[in-house]
Amino acid sequence: MQFGEFRLSVIRECNFRLDGGAMFGVVPKTLWSQVSPADELNRIQLSCNLLLIDTGSKKVLVETGMGSRWEKREAERYEVEMLVDDSNVLSSVGLSNDDVDAVIISHLHFDHAGGACRMVDGKLVPTFPKAKYYVQKGELDLARNPNARAKGSYRQDDFMPLIEHGVIAVIDGDKEIVPGVFAKVTGGHTSHHQVIYFESAGNKGVYFADIIPTKSHLSPPWVMGYDHFPLASCDVKSQWLTQAAKEKWLVVFDHEVGVPWGHVSLDEKGRFDFQALPAETLESDAVFSS
């Protein structure tokens, strides 16, 4: 999709499932199940949507997804269905892993950083070998030494090889990664969670990552049980969504199973609504639910 002078593409890396109660926190199941039906194990369907931003001079990949390095029991627990080959993640848009100049990871949970590395000849190597991987310092510090509550969401093999190969770029606070593409710290989901804001020729957009993982999480109080700071998430959502609605930004959801990008509006009662773009705007061989 053309976006000012940028070219945007969504790559659906995988489908998977997580517990619905954890995904919606204190929201009663009688409410969230109406928009995200659960299976017999109380899991809801999710996807990992990567965003490729081609600025013309640089190709920036937002997030890396789950990756394929899962033991059988883990893959069954999350019902991971890989939709790409990690040796050629961008094949659906006619590119290769070598074409990526920068990778921005919102935070280092396994469903965002799992695809950062892949196994080659028994060794873990960066999936995108010519790219720098941009991660917040505070997030990396937490991931390397997580407390008991956070430990289950981080896998050292997702990011330590990036350090060992010298491809990780540690940033501390908001930063313009390439002209027109910015990492913006929001906190909330984790203390140093970041969203990715981008603008070109008067067009503005945001990849919300886990501040707003799906269109069903638009209501500010509907925050995840996984959030370290749920009250902060609620406030951050209100602020960003209000601005996005006012200025008609493109919004992108990382875990939405339907069309993951579109626009938001705000009605007179203060409620946000999502209007998805046509499915034809997606350049991918993966199947997107309606």
Environment class of 140 (CB within 10 Å of its CB; exposed 0-12, middle 13-18, buried 19+): buried
Whether the per-residue pLDDT at 116 is higher than 60: the answer is yes
Q: How wide is the angle at C-alpha 125 spanned by C-alphas 195 and 72, nearest 5°?
A: 85
Tokens of 253: 């959801």
Residues 6+ apart with CB under 8 A from 290: 258, 259, 279
What digits encode the pLDDT tens for the residues 233-288? 999 999 999 999 999 999 999 999 999 999 999 998 999 999 999 999 987 555 55
Using one digit for the tens of pLDDT, what is the confidence trace for 156-205? Answer: 999 999 999 999 999 999 999 999 999 999 999 999 999 999 999 999 99
Tokens of 131: 């790219």
Alpha-carbon span 8 to 34, nearest angstrom:
31
Q: Identify the structural domains of the chain with CATH numbers, from first to last.
A: 2-281 (3.60.15.10)
Integer Cα distance of 270 and 233 in angstroms = 17
Q: Count other C-beta atoms under 10 Å from residue 290's C-beta.
A: 7
CA distance 128 to 258: 27
φ, ψ at 283 (rounded to 5°):
-105, 85
Q: Give residues with Cβ within 8 angstroms of 4, minimum separation 6.
A: 199, 200, 201, 202, 203
- The pLDDT score that the predictor gives to residue 290 is 45
DSSP state of 238: H
Beta strand pairing call for 102-104 and 59-62: parallel
CA distance 190 to 177: 21
Q: What is the pLDDT of residues 73-106, one digit of tens each?
A: 999 999 999 999 999 999 999 999 999 999 999 9
Maximal CA-CA distance, the chain: 58
- What type of residue is 177? I
| pLDDT, average across residues 213-242 | 97
